[in-house]
Amino acid sequence: MKHAATIALMIFLTPAAALCAGGLRCTLPPGIAEAHLLSGGTPVMMEHLKAGYESGLAALSAELQIEELGAQVKKAQSMLEKRNRSYADTLASIRKKHLSSLFVILEAIEASISPSSSALGDVTFFYTVRNSTDRIITDITYTPRVGGKPLPTTTSLVLEFMHPETLISGVGPGETLTNRGHDPERFSFFISELSPEEINALKTDAAKQFGIEITDMRFADQKGYKDQVKVQDFLSAFSRQIKPLTSAIDQAEVDVEARNRAHAKALAGFTEGKKQLEDQLKASLAELKKNSIRCSVRPDKKNRFEFNGVPAGTYCLYAPDGRGGAVFEEVAVSGHGRQELAAEIKKDPFVP
């Protein structure tokens, strides 16, 4: 088999005809120190070596299951995203349902605005709340609005539902609670951030211009005095509905991590194997180049490369520039005088 391979290589590397001699003069880009005529069969052998390299890469990729593991990573990530969306959608649905099932009626609204003496204004109001949810609600967080625009308040506003006489915290399902006849609710806002029209609207008719938007609420398992009641947010109050979703997310995250580790390990093995194949290809191309050279010349004083007394036949003109580029093209040398050739730099085919 070794002798057969050697014979095949000789067939590729031997010029097609050597019955007579010819010449070739080349004008090449500056910076080239030496030009060579390679056997005409060099490109075929080069393609054979590169095809072997590509085949080796494909086999290595299949052996390490690079594509399959990559697909598994994408599938696991997609599942994690799906479960995160399910969690977010469920929580949003629970919030929307309960926030919209609590009705707050505002009464006796008064706005105190004195821009000349203070940068702050005050709003006082009474309220009646009706709980149409299936939970005990202890308080809400709200945003005050004037004419649909949020009022710039000094702090986040919380409205606590506490019976004004018994001081029992919480309004239960189907219940109504009011602070009428007792101290009103009060908050302050920045006057400087309101337009003159908005200030005038509050002064003229606060009852029609003022409203609140419920942004959050908290719950309790039972009514009781404020310090004796365990207050819960949405996550803790609805843990039975949410926990299966968070558990599914945790499992999906574990799966993504495991898939990523397996894929990373396979990629590391592929990178190492690819380097070995590249080293083999470089060595083979270097050997091919060495064995393919039929003659070499250096430039004359006019930077011309002249090949004289070359056996007639088909060759490859090869002239590397030492920077990854090279002249590499097929030339035909005949026995009828000297041929003139001008060539350009391309990517060096002997550099993988």
pLDDT at 5 over 50: no
pLDDT at 59 over 90: yes
| Three-state secondary structure call for residue 13 | helix
Tens of pLDDT, residues 244-269 = 999 999 999 999 999 999 999 999 99
Decide: 17 and 313 in contact? Cβ < 8 Å: yes
Confidence band, pLDDT 50/70/90 cuts, at residue 66? very high
pLDDT at 298 over 70: yes
Least confident of 190-199, 211-220, 269-278: 190-199
| Three-state secondary structure call for residue 262 | helix
pLDDT at 14 over 50: no
Find all residues with CB under 8 Å of 146, minimum gap 6, and list them: 194, 198, 201, 202, 209, 210
pLDDT at 9 over 50: no
Q: Supply the pLDDT for residue 121.
A: 87
pLDDT at 63 over 70: yes
Find all residues with CB under 8 Å of 264, minimum gap 6, and list them: none
Which class is 101-237 in CATH? mainly beta
Query: What's the whole-number average pLDDT of the chain?
Result: 89
In which residue are the tokens 């337009």 written? 195
Q: Where are the domains of the chain?
A: 101-237
Q: Supply the pLDDT for residue 116.
A: 59
In which residue are the tokens 């090949």 written? 307
* Distance separating alpha carbons of residues 207 and 292, to the nearest angstrom: 97
Smallest Cα–Cα separation from 214: which of 143, 278, 274?
A: 143
Phi, psi of 264 (to 5 degrees): -65, -40
User: Does pTM top 0.85 for this prediction?
Assistant: no
Decide: 35 and 327 in contact? Cβ < 8 Å: yes
| Cα dihedral 308→317→304→335 (10° resolution) | 30
Q: Find the mean pLDDT for residues 121-147.
A: 94
Q: Which amino acid is at 254?
A: V
In which residue are the tokens 């702090």 written? 155
Q: What is the DSSP letter of 323?
A: S
Cross-strand partners of 47: none
| C-alpha distances out from residue 318 to 4, 87, 107, Å | 27, 64, 94
Q: Which amino acid is at 71?
A: A
